[in-house]
Chain A
Amino acid sequence: MALGFFNRLKEGLSRSTQKLGTNLAAAFTHRRLDDAALEELEELLIGADLGPAVAERVIESFRRTRFGNEVTDRDVREALSAEIARVLEPVAIPFVPDPALKPHVVLVVGVNGTGKTTTIGKMALQYGREGLKPILVAGDTFRAAAVEQLQVWGERTGVPVISGPPNADAAGLAFNAFRKARSENADLLLIDTAGRLHNKGALMEELAKIIRVLRKFDETAPHSVILVLDATTGQNAVEQVRVFKELVDVTGLVVTKLDGSARGGIVVSLAETFKLPLHAVGVGEKAEDLRPFSASEFARGLVGDTVRLAGSLQPEE
């Protein structure tokens, strides 16, 4: 499994980022770093969804240190991947369930279609394999067949799924499930929720209610609130994190669909702005494709495969 692990992650990431790599190579095989070149580089970064602020800072540090120099794409890649890794390193914190909690309650939230249910299915499999006892809660009582979707994951992974009737109150369901999980001595309670756009006040209030109700049973719950983000999302991801964090105290992120053509540069900007732990990335549809996030792998993947990480090239502060 160890071999498959890195290859899959690398494959997913490099596919997702090879475009930026090729663009860089084309733009910077030995040329003078003048205004035109800097502008081009800035556009490449913006094109990778890095966000204008990050792009501008990288460009400025280049301007200060090497304006007018001859540079190769290799220089650019090394400096860029060092910079990205530096930003991401502090947030690469895997999710570790606390075995003392019995159960560690995790509320999984996000906008529609980011992959919440799939992520829960993958987590159930992983922690089940580690010998923990997870229980899943089909808290998306709104979308058609969402409950059945989670139940299929339950069958696949051999993990019990607690569900209610369609359109049932998600907060009540979560409360009952929590009580049951505690009485059954479960290690992990993964609560799925309906996807909701963060700008819908009433729907966000529903999420806050789930948390209030959980706390009636145990004040410390939920122990984690994981926001699932789609890697193809652009600058709007910043808004999503901001609002969810404000209203339901998000404790960590999972970024899905990093195996596509999306370059996931928004991750960098999120790490800078919110400093929330980035627990895992989804790089495929199989249960094994949920991977702990590695800053250096990601940074290397983002700027191309051939470069060694050169710590000495960190930009001046």
Chain B
Amino acid sequence: MFDALSGKLTGVFDKLRTRGALSEADVMEAMREVRLAMLDADVALPVVKEFTTKVRERAVGHEVLDSISPGQAVAKIVNDALIDALGGAGAVPLNLNAAAPIPILMVGLQGSGKTTTSGKIALRLQTREKRRVLLASLDVQRPAAQLQLQQLGERAKVASLPIVPGQSPVEIARRAMETGRREGFDVVILDTAGRLSIDEALMQEVREIRAATSPAETLLVVDAMTGQDAVNTAKHFNDAVGVTGIVMTRMDGDARGGAALSMRAITGAPIKLTGSGEKLEALEEFHPERVAGRILGLGDLAGLVEKASETLDQEETEKLALKMMRGKFDLDDYAAQIRQISKLGSIGGILDMLPGMGKLKEQIGDKDLDTSILKRHTAIISSMTKAERRTPDIIKASRKKRIAAGSGSSVQEVNRLLKQFDDMSTMMKRINKLGAKGLMRHGMSALMPKGMPPGRPQ
């Protein structure tokens, strides 16, 4: 996500940075490139125009051209304008300020991910906010859509409205609200059928559902890969039913994220949540300032720390950290660490959040960042004896053969794991030497063996 846009924009600014003074022509040239990069990333045309005009106006002002490092100043302006376009700093939470049961209405095109997102929101509200949630599918169009939501509910351990064949969507919506009231649910999520924004009959149906339930949130679910049509869809839905928030799905794809940049500008409604995976937990808050940082290649450390503290087992992490500090890190600890890392999601996703790692990721390529390697490592380690895990040095040829056979891998793979473990131990010693402050100052590149590419030049 955002990689390509990020790469192009950093290119533009790197060029500007090498200049001492900037002329108005330099800025114009840079803005032309920004415009192309954004159009390539599927940012809606009107949004691109407004964006570049705004940046150009500010950038040709005196404070930039006269400043000591004009390139930096322009980058800052673009950063601010990006945050603006994405809706201003700070995540916007779901609005749950209404009398229970609070209706949340999900709308969008076919295949945008409404049903999966409904399941994800239900799980999130139930586990984090301790709300009792009822899922109700009003989708009588797509075959087995109601069943899909029911099964998602079972997976998430969230209640779902019993399916009654033959009811109209409005009838189901009424029944859902009644059930919600009678059985004391806090939130009722109404998942509607996918519809084209130009389908008048179906849009009228959503209007009726809205009138019958007066939802606290009407969430428009949008695929992050959407092209220029994002404008029309968002506009039509907003005009017809009044969108209160956007959920962007498939943020884990390699789309360039233009739709995300366009949405706020067109509907005025904030992006409240993003989906980034098929697991029911893969739903995140949207922080415009962090996303802007990622687009400009500045990373999102705040997001990573937050994610880590949410998903990692605090106690175990501290235990591991202590062992690392003392240099007593063995293969058992490595296996424990793998378990923790897998909880964080894909490695590529983690790298995205680290400053200066975008270029490194490009070099590694996506394939090698597969988490399946972690699974294989776990298997190999569990085929070792306790003694071997404690002192990997004793693992020689015949032990390697046994471990490979036991874990269904090869001796080469066992070797690779041992080598990697060795590298890790070396890296840890380096971290200990640097200390936390040194790490902050030099970033990840301080840890890389020599010859690896450094991060973005400071």
Contacts and interface: CB of A to CB of B under 8 A. Distances in A.
Interface of A: 15, 19, 43, 46-49, 52, 111-115, 118, 121, 142-146, 148-149, 151-153, 156, 197-202, 230, 232-237, 239, 257, 259-263, 266, 285
A311 B415 CA distance: 65
A199 B225 contact: no
Contacts of A234: 42, 225-230, 255, 258-259
Given A143-B148, A145-B148, A234-B42, A285 B141 contact: yes
A152 B225 contact: no
13 contacts: A46-B45, A112-B111, A113-B113, A121-B143, A144-B147, A145-B148, A148-B144, A149-B145, A230-B223, A232-B226, A234-B225, A260-B197, A261-B229
Given A46-B45, A52-B36, A262-B227, A236 B236 contact: no
A164 to B, nearest CB: 16
B151 A144 contact: yes
Interface residues of B, number: 51
Given A15-B198, A146-B144, A198-B254, 13 more contacts: A111-B225, A118-B142, A145-B145, A149-B143, A197-B253, A199-B252, A232-B109, A232-B223, A232-B233, A233-B226, A234-B255, A235-B42, A262-B227
B227 A43 contact: no
Contact of A19 (B152, B230, B232): B232
B42 A236 contact: yes
Contact of A113 (B41, B110, B233, B369): B110
Contacts of B252: 197, 199-200
Contacts of A237: 225, 227
A67 to B, nearest CB: 20
Given A111-B225, A232-B226, A261 B196 contact: yes
Contacts of B42: 49, 234-236
Interface of B: 36, 39-42, 45, 109-113, 141-145, 147-152, 155, 196-198, 223, 225-230, 232-233, 236, 250, 252-256, 258-259, 278, 366-367, 369-372
Contacts of A118: 142
A281 to B, nearest CB: 15
B228 A114 contact: no
Contacts of A201: 366-367, 369-370
Contacts of B113: 112-113
A48 B44 CA distance: 10
A54 to B, nearest CB: 13
Nearest to B36: A52
Contacts of B109: 232, 257, 260
Contacts of A263: 228-229
Given A199-B254, A235-B40, A49 B147 contact: no
Contacts of B144: 145-146, 148-149, 151-152
B147 A148 contact: yes
Contact of A260 (B151, B198, B250): B198
A75 B226 CA distance: 31
Nearest to A156: B143
B255 A142 contact: no
A202 B369 CA distance: 10
Q: Across chains A and B, which 7 residue pairs bring their CB atoms closest together, nearest first?
A: A234-B227, A113-B111, A152-B143, A234-B42, A145-B148, A144-B151, A148-B144
A199 B370 contact: no
A151 B252 CA distance: 30
Contacts of B147: 144-145, 148
A204 to B, nearest CB: 9
B45 A43 contact: yes
A115 B288 CA distance: 31
A233 B198 contact: no
Contacts of A235: 40-42, 227, 256
A263 B45 CA distance: 14
A233 B142 contact: no
Contact of B196 (A114, A152, A260): A260
A17 to B, nearest CB: 11
Contact of A261 (B40, B148, B152, B233): B233
